[in-house]
Amino acid sequence: MNRSVLEFPTEYPIKIIGRPSDEFRARIHAVVLRHAPGLESERVSERLSGNGNFLSISYQLLAQSREQIEALIDELKACDGVMMLL
């Protein structure tokens, strides 16, 4: 696998899916801000599923390194309530 496909800094979209709740939203946002502290609110969007059972939170990050992305993904995978990462 060619690990140098991405050149940094780069725009990196990530979507986190879980059950809708204020706690889930706050938990995810805190994790993302730990890894991307300068994230602007206009680079975050949310979408509730048609039946309201799932919430997807999308972030458009300006990633500085592969290590930053990998650390963020690892922490999100371990985060309570995260059902899927895209």
pLDDT number for residue 2 = 53
By the 10 Å C-beta count (0-12 exposed, 13-18 middle, 19+ buried), 32 is classed as: buried
Q: Residue 3: is its pLDDT beyond 80? A: no
Amino acid code (one letter) for 1 = M
Check pLDDT > 80 for residue 75: yes
Kindly report the pTM of this predicted structure: 0.90
Give 6-56 pLDDT, tens digit per residue. Answer: 899 999 999 999 999 999 999 999 999 999 999 999 999 999 999 999 999
Q: Tokens in use for 31?
A: 């994790």
The answer regarding whether domain 10-85 maps to CATH 2.60.40.420 reads no
**Residue 52 CB coordination number (10 Å):** 9
Residue ranges of domains in the chain: 10-85
